[in-house]
Amino acid sequence: MTDTPFVTPAWLAAHLDAPGLVVVDGSYYLSTMGRDAEAEFREGHIPGAIRFDIDAVRDEGSDLPHMLPTPEVFAARVGEMGIGDGMQIVVYDGAGLFSAPRVWWTFETFGASDVSILEGGFPAWKAAGLPVEEGPARPRAKRSFTPRVDHSAVADLADVRRALETGSAQVVDARPADRFAGRAPEPRPGVRSGHMPGAYNVPFAEIVQDGRLADADTIRAALDRAGVDPSRPVITSCGSGVSAAILSLAFEKIGRPARSLYDGSWAEWGTRDDCPVETDDR
């Protein structure tokens, strides 16, 4: 198996008006990127697309960034967006491939049955000379979304601790190497630098090329360099659960789906005094 849920810009352009299809702009950027996802959407988006903001559709009772909301909240919010049962969902982002996998993973975790990612994202759409729409999203009729949560797809702090202590799963961190090693500061204030003892590092930039997921051989090579055995269970992690989904997508591509994604990721682990942190001083 080497399959991933991508559709090409040409395919999407040909099916843009198909009944039951909804295009979702899932753009999100770190503060260090200096980009405004909402402003960029208003300046130009795929015609008919809606905005899915992971900082808005989240667990508002948590002080961690964009944690998954409850099933009831998720169902209500996406239903208001016009996304309902049985619809075909195509997600993209403005970076090419950064936050769209997080939105893909979110919909799949809540039980959506047909979720795809636009290959190359909005940059590829524009490069193909396809139409762009300005302004806010068009209102869509409210739909009913029935959440069917795959709890096994989400790892919490206890799951990660258990995996690290027992070796029951490999924790693979998608953050850049300097942040993983503790040589570069975290972008969020109050978060320690370094990594979980026993975690592996596969920076997401090593498996994303020109806004697209790298081929299977490149992914396998990156895992091999990091010492990750794709035949063993994996929990993906990162700074706040966004680029971890790129790793999850990569494991799907090589036919070795990750066991789960650590939703709290380093934003949780790196702020807790009871969670050990290692750094690489070399």
- For residue range 51-79, what is the model confidence (pLDDT) as tens digits? 999 999 999 999 999 999 999 999 999 99
Res 2: pLDDT: 43
Which of 136, 257, 113, 240 is CA-nearest to residue 104?
Answer: 113
Res 142: pLDDT: 97
Q: How far apart are CA 164 and CA 244, in angstroms?
A: 17
Span 34-39, average pLDDT = 96
Give me the phi and psi of 42, to 5 degrees please. Answer: -65, -30
State the DSSP code for 45: B
Number of C-beta neighbours around residue 25 at 10 A:
27
Residues 109-156: tens digit of each pLDDT: 999 999 999 999 999 999 999 999 999 999 999 999 999 999 999 999
Res 1: pLDDT: 34
Q: For residues 206 and 282, which has the higher predicted lDDT (pLDDT)?
A: 206
Res 107: pLDDT: 98
The structure's pTM equals 0.96
- Positions marked catalytic: 238
Residues 235-281: tens digit of each pLDDT: 999 999 999 999 999 999 999 999 999 999 999 999 999 999 999 96
Partner residues linked to 172 by β-bridges: 200, 236
Res 281: pLDDT: 66
Q: What is the mean pLDDT of the chain?
A: 96
Q: How far apart are CA 91 and CA 98, in angstroms?
A: 11
Domains, the chain: 6-149 (3.40.250.10), 152-269 (3.40.250.10)
